[in-house]
Amino acid sequence: AQTVTQSQPEMSVQEAETVTLSCTYDTSESDYYLFWYKQPPSRQMILVIRQEAYKQQNATENRFSVNFQKAAKSFSLKISDSQLGDAAMYFCAYRSAEDMRFGAGTRLTVKP
């Protein structure tokens, strides 16, 4: 069974609006990393943002930010001012020293 859960197989957002993609994970580790990857039709996996578990401050990369709730084991991705080019599959991933796991993905559609 996967230990990274993305509960939204598909999401849709209007261009210029904000959308939040959900991700929860399960771990007994205290030291780990969390990632969001974007997969456009080219199938390449592009790293969008990463968060170190020991950091309390939420990571931000331009229009992308996360809401990291360590106690709740939640790691959501917020995309502000959505653009057509944001349309893709988004994968949440967890990595510890010995393990890396991915969620099943969320397909994001951006409507013009």
CB of 47 vs another protein, minimal distance in Å: 5
Cβ distance to another protein smaller for residue 16 or 46: 46
Cβ distance to another protein smaller for residue 62 or 81: 62
User: Hey, is 85 helix, strand or coil?
Assistant: helix
Distances (CA, A) of 73 to 3, 20, 26, 51, 63: 11, 16, 7, 13, 23
Cβ distance to another protein smaller for residue 27 or 80: 27
Are 51 and 70 contacting, i.e. CB atoms less than 8 angstroms apart?
no
Q: Which residues bind another protein (CB under 8 A)?
A: 1-2, 9-10, 35, 37, 41-47, 50, 89, 91, 95, 99-102, 104-107
